[in-house]
């Protein structure tokens, strides 16, 4: 490629990538970057644009519509090849039947990410409208919602925590919002619904698939992602693709009853494509369990799961307990090598603004809530956790840094837990 389209805020990152072939950059927003290639402002191009040219050939439903890159939380991002049918299946009425043409959906995530781009296609299919916010900002969120007359939005990761940790107000229900999609569903779902008067849904999706799991409004089962929607097959399997028993943990694999209803592979990455598409099913790399009522529960990314002294540990479950501590704004749990073999559990935490985190107090808080084998050994306090442009924590960065000089070690402070009870 010789032409790149990018937001002006991202141009400073060009120094970290190979741009030798780039001759022209079309940028959105303001930019003061300097380089050896030509800069063109997108608004100027649009205002002077002629009618679109004729198509070279008719567009078929199975043609590639876009290449959307994954978040890159576990390593380098992969370009997902999405057909027109994949985009429609992901945005169609099978999943989004509760959104109508009267809704206005707030986008507060990058549009180059499926979380932002997907909403655009949903509202195109439903005949609704969108409001675009330049990233998530706790203080600006509700004023923007009111000004834009938003009726639906996504809450990813700790966004829910940020909003709930604001001081309650008599104006908490003074808004036009009727739907919120909370991913993942936290134990504060009911609190959020009651405080803000908004119906809460949750959903499981990836760039590569088409929202196979969706919940009913205001689910009461803690940690659920919902049930399988119509039009998809879902299995939980072991490492040999054999289905696990009900209630057991397995990797979720997915297929659709619509041809081209999911991704067509990874761009110029046949190895990753072959690893993901096996035996006619797409392998998500995510571990789930299912109960006898058909509800699915996310356990962990396979690459993030930990094993300590013979016990399997979900980083997702550890993080849920850590962010319940009032002074913790966000947290990441990950494995570091143990001197005894297998893993030790480490957490990196960012404090609520104006608060300091006392590691001993936090550790005692966790010891009263968690099985002894899940209680972290190490705590690292950071002002901000490293994130992707789509606001997901880059655990592979934290994992590679490991136990740093500023890491607190509970074993050095003689804090021990055994059989879910503190003994010293």
* Same domain for 334 and 270: no
* Same domain for 292 and 212: yes
User: Taking 80 as the threshold, does the pLDDT of residue 73 lie above it?
Assistant: no
* Same domain for 77 and 31: no
Residue 141 lies in a domain: yes
Domain of 347, CATH number, reads 3.30.300.30
Last residue of a domain, one of 300, 318, 349: 300
Each residue's pLDDT tens digit, 313-349: 889 889 989 999 999 999 999 999 988 778 999 999 9
- For the purposes of burial, counting CB atoms within 10 Å of the CB of 329, is it exposed (0-12), middle (13-18) or buried (19 or more)? buried
Residue 54 lies in a domain: no
Residue 52 lies in a domain: no
Beta strands in 70-215 (DSSP E): 79-83, 104-107, 129-132, 152-156, 179-183, 199-201, 203-204, 213-214
Residue 248 lies in a domain: yes
Each residue's pLDDT tens digit, 38-57: 767 777 776 666 677 788 89
Q: Measured between alpha carbons, how far is residue 384 from residues 71, 115, 155, 393, 401 in Å? A: 18, 22, 19, 10, 15
User: Taking 50 as the threshold, does the pLDDT of residue 423 lie above it?
Assistant: no
* Same domain for 377 and 253: no
* Same domain for 127 and 10: no
Residue 175 lies in a domain: yes
* Same domain for 290 and 226: yes
Compute, in degrees rounded to 10, the torsion defined by CA atoms 215, 216, 218, 222. -40
* Same domain for 222 and 146: yes
* Same domain for 194 and 89: yes
* Same domain for 320 and 295: no
Residue 57 lies in a domain: no
* Predicted local distance difference test score (pLDDT) of residue 420: 39
The token duo for 401 is 């840094």
* Same domain for 321 and 294: no
CA dihedral sign, ordered 164, 169, 175, 178: positive
Q: How far apart, in whole angstroms, are the C-alpha atoms of residue 209 and residue 326?
A: 36
Whether 252 and 236 have beta carbons less than 8 Å apart is answered as yes
The arithmetic mean of pLDDT across residues 176-190, rounded, is 91
* Same domain for 197 and 79: yes
User: Taking 90 as the threshold, does the pLDDT of residue 197 lie above it?
Assistant: yes
**Number of folded domains that form the chain:** 3
* Predicted local distance difference test score (pLDDT) of residue 303: 85
* Predicted local distance difference test score (pLDDT) of residue 48: 66
DSSP code string of 189-249: HHHHHHHH--EEE-EE--TTS---EEPPSS--STTEEEEEPTTEEEEEE-TTSPBPPTTS-
Instruction: Quickly tell me which residue has 């550790």 as its tokens.
Output: 363
CA dihedral sign, ordered 319, 320, 323, 325: negative
Domain that holds residue 76: 64-300
* Same domain for 293 and 415: no
Residue 104 lies in a domain: yes
Last residue of a domain, one of 264, 280, 300: 300
């Amino acid at each position: 490629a010789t032409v790149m389209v990018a937001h002006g805020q991202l141009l400073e990152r060009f120094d970290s990538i190979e741009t030798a072939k780039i001759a022209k950059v079309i940028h959105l927003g303001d930019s003061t970057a300097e380089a050896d290639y030509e800069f063109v402002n997108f608004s100027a191009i649009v205002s002077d644009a002629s009618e679109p040219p004729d198509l070279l050939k008719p567009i078929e439903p199975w043609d590639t519509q876009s290449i959307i890159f994954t978040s890159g939380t576990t390593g380098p991002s992969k370009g997902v090849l999405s057909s027109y049918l994949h985009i429609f299946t992901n945005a169609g009425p099978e999943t989004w039947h509760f959104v109508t043409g009267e809704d206005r959906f707030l986008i507060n995530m990058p549009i180059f990410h499926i979380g932002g781009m997907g909403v655009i296609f949903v509202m195109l299919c439903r005949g609704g409208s969108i409001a675009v916010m330049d990233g998530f900002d706790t203080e600006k969120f509700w004023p923007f919602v009111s000004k834009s007359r938003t009726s639906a939005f996504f809450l990813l990761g700790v966004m829910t925590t940020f909003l709930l940790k604001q001081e309650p107000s008599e104006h908490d229900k003074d808004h036009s919002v009727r739907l919120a999609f909370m991913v993942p569903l936290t134990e504060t779902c009911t609190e959020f619904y009651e405080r803000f008067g908004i119906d809460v849904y949750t959903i499981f999706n990836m760039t590569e698939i088409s929202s196979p799991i969706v919940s009913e409004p205001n689910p009461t089962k803690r940690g659920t992602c919902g049930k399988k929607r119509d039009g998809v097959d879902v299995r939980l399997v072991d490492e040999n693709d054999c289905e696990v028993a009900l209630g057991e943990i397995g990797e979720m694999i997915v297929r659709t009853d619509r041809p081209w209803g999911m991704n067509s592979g990874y761009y110029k990455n046949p190895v990753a494509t072959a690893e993901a598409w096996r035996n006619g099913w797409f392998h998500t790399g995510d571990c789930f369990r299912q109960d006898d009522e058909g509800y699915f529960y996310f356990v962990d990314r396979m690459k993030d799961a930990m094993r300590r002294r013979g016990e399997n540990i979900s980083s997702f479950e550890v993080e849920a307990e850590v962010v319940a501590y009032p002074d913790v704004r966000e947290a990441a749990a990950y494995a570091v090598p143990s001197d005894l073999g297998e893993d030790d559990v480490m957490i990196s935490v960012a404090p609520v603004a104006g608060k300091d985190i006392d590691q001993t107090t936090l550790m005692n808080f966790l010891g009263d809530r968690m099985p002894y084998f899940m209680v972290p050994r190490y705590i690292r306090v950071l002002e901000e956790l490293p994130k992707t442009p789509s606001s997901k924590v880059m655990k592979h960065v934290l994992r590679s840094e490991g136990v740093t000089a500023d890491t607190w070690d509970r074993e050095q402070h003689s804090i021990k837990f055994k059989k879910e009870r503190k003994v010293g």
